[in-house]
Amino acid sequence: MDSVSIADGIPQNPNEERFKQLVGKFRTKYPDTQPQFLCRAPGRVNLIGEHIDYCGYSVLPMAVDQDIIAVFAANDGNEVQISNTDPIFKEVSFDIGDFSISYEKSDWFEYFKCGIQGIRDKYVDRKLKGMKVLIDGTIPRSAGLSSSSALVVCAALATTINNGITISKSDLAELCAECEKYIGTQGGGMDQAASCLAHSGSAMLISFNPLKTQDVTLPVGCAFVVTHSLTEVNKAATDHFNIRVSECRLATQILTHAKGLDWRTIRKPYELQTALGWTITELEKFAIDSLHEVPYTLDEVAGLLNVSVDELISISLKATINREQKFELCKRMKHVLSEANRVLLFKQVCDSNTHDRLETLGELMNQSHNSCSRLYECSSRELDELTDICRQSGALGSRLTGAGWGGCAVSLVRQEDLHEFIRNVRDKFYLNSNDPKRANKADQSIFPTLPGCGIYAVRL
């Protein structure tokens, strides 16, 4: 089992100075307590495969250097005390055996509670110890780079270490994918798997049912650049994300029923594809032939499945669903199934030796963005503008990354064009726009990124 190993002492690495400073800050914050451990969980940038992990399909992200770090020590009693090096995040304390998670406000520490809850769920018979924790994060928030999952993973990891629990990285990833749902978003498992299982130097193909990762070597000569659109969306506080998850589920259930299979148990496109023994493309064709372009009402879906609207809500949706909600089933399936194919093609091209590899990867990324924007409708005016500017500035491909509706884009750029690309995008999107916020944030909003490593822990 590939469990999380704990190194003795702060390792010599590019983070060494930051680690030492954090340990110093912990001592200032909690003067009576010796810091015992440090653990770290990275964010990720998704190169391709958007909004398909929760449909059961493989995705292709890589971990980034930006991360969440926790320095911590056991408490004598049950109390968990958490503070953050950034003073905008308020401190809290609660009882490790008795707390609730509120997703109405989605405060930063609610994600930390999710991680602890995941460990409580798995190790129900253990009495967990309290801890004093100092958190430091460098992942921009609500930017599609998985700051939320990094915090959940970091919390779950700290809780295992604080209680002497050994867990494999895959189990930790799966547990965190489940417990992040306590915050209210019905995500797949991409972010937690990337954070737990990444290897430095490689992107990764993540497949689900069961969770598996394969390292993907990116072609020599390409660079990936992340650019922030400087608009944010809090997925836990809006319903865009969960509506998309519901649309994929309802579409699957209608198609499943049309094939005479059990729509109550088959809820993800991948499960239907497997049950039918079809290829992705065969399912895509069937979906396009079967689903109409006009959005569906709850009444219509319930009628197609021969149940009442109330029954449909209790089987497939949340009780809080707005009954007037319209569901775009055809467009969403077209995106999911074409995107699932693009991920496999992207992997194949990375593994091949063709001379035009970079152009092909770029083209797949552009197609992915188009599909996210037009079919999945998870882009934004700013992200469309930013990705256009990136393409005009020399990117071979550019797309939104993460859930979308704001946040970051990722672009594929030839190594030799990198500096000029950054200069052009900086001028066009940030400095010469009419928005002073963009000019002020230009420097922190563009960064090239290499595939980073996954979680690790240090005994101090």
Residues belonging to the active site: 191
**Partner interacting with residue 53 (select from Mg ion, ligand NG1, none; CB below 5-8 Å by kind):** ligand NG1
**Binding region for ligand NG1 (CB under 6 A) out of 10-18, 29-37, 146-154, 415-423:** 146-154
Least distance (Å) between residue 192 CB and ligand NG1? 7
**Partner interacting with residue 190 (select from ligand NG1, Mg ion, none; CB below 5-8 Å by kind):** ligand NG1
Q: 3-state DSSP call for residue 378?
A: coil
What is the footprint of Mg ion within residues 147-166 (CB under 5 A)? 148
Binding mask 394-433 for ligand NG1 (x = CB under 6 A): --------xx------------------------------
Least distance (Å) between residue 119 CB and Mg ion? 20
Distances (CA, A) of 410 to 14, 151, 155, 194, 444: 24, 22, 27, 16, 15
Q: How does DSSP assign 290-345, residue by residue?
A: HS-SSPBPHHHHHHHTTS-HHHHHHHHS-TT--TT--B-HHHHHHHHHHHHHHHHH
Question: What letter represents residue 336's amino acid?
Answer: V
**Cα separation, 419 vs 410, whole angstroms:** 16
Q: Which two tokens stand for residue 20?
A: 């030492």
Q: How does DSSP assign 334-348, residue by residue?
A: HHHHHHHHHHHHHHH
**Site for Mg ion contains 142 (CB under 5 A):** no
| Tokens 């052009």 -> residue | 424
For Mg ion, give the closer residue by CB, 296 or 376: 376
For ligand NG1, give the closer residue by CB, 35 or 407: 407
For ligand NG1, give the closer residue by CB, 22 or 243: 243
**Binding region for Mg ion (CB under 5 A) out of 145-153, 236-244, 246-254, 425-433:** 145-153
Q: In what order do the strands lie in the sheet with 222-228?
A: 397-400, 408-414, 222-228, 446-449
**Cα separation, 457 vs 139, whole angstroms:** 18
Q: Which helix (H) or strand (E) holds 439?
A: helix 436-440
**Cα separation, 423 vs 431, whole angstroms:** 10
Least distance (Å) between residue 139 CB and ligand NG1? 10
Least distance (Å) between residue 329 CB and Mg ion? 25
**Partner interacting with residue 202 (select from Mg ion, ligand NG1, none; CB below 5-8 Å by kind):** none
Binding mask 235-264 for ligand NG1 (x = CB under 6 A): x-----------------------------
**Partner interacting with residue 51 (select from ligand NG1, Mg ion, none; CB below 5-8 Å by kind):** ligand NG1
Listed residue (353, 416, 93) closest to 217, CA to CA? 353
**Partner interacting with residue 108 (select from Mg ion, ligand NG1, none; CB below 5-8 Å by kind):** none
Q: 3-state DSSP call for residue 156?
A: helix
**Binding region for Mg ion (CB under 5 A) out of 120-128, 144-152, 313-321, 340-348:** 144-152
**Cα separation, 460 vs 456, whole angstroms:** 13
CB count, 10 Å around CB of 111? 25
For ligand NG1, give the closer residue by CB, 52 or 305: 52
Least distance (Å) between residue 146 CB and ligand NG1? 4
For ligand NG1, give the closer residue by CB, 144 or 269: 144
Q: Which two tokens stand for residue 111?
A: 């994600």
**Cα separation, 291 vs 286, whole angstroms:** 8
Out of 110, 180, 247, 284, point to the residue binding ligand NG1 (CB under 6 A).
180
Least distance (Å) between residue 50 CB and ligand NG1? 4
- Residue of this chain nearest to ligand NG1 (CB atom): 187
What is the footprint of Mg ion within residues 222-261 (CB under 5 A)? none
Query: Is 51 exposed, middle or buried, given 0-12, 13-18 or 19+ CB atoms closer than 10 A?
Result: buried
What is the footprint of ligand NG1 within residues 44-63 (CB under 6 A)? 46, 50-51, 53-54
For Mg ion, give the closer residue by CB, 82 or 152: 152
Positive or negative, the CA dihedral 372, 256, 317, 122 is negative
For ligand NG1, give the closer residue by CB, 131 or 156: 156
On whether the CB atoms of residues 169 and 157 are closer than 8 A, the answer is no
On whether the CB atoms of residues 62 and 45 are closer than 8 A, the answer is yes
What is the footprint of ligand NG1 within residues 184-203 (CB under 6 A)? 185, 187-188, 190-191
What is the footprint of ligand NG1 within residues 147-176 (CB under 6 A)? 148-149
What is the footprint of Mg ion within residues 277-296 (CB under 5 A)? none
Q: Applying CB under 6 A, which residues contact ligand NG1?
A: 46, 50-51, 53-54, 144, 146, 148-149, 180, 185, 187-188, 190-191, 235, 402-403
Q: Applying CB under 5 A, which residues contact Mg ion?
A: 148
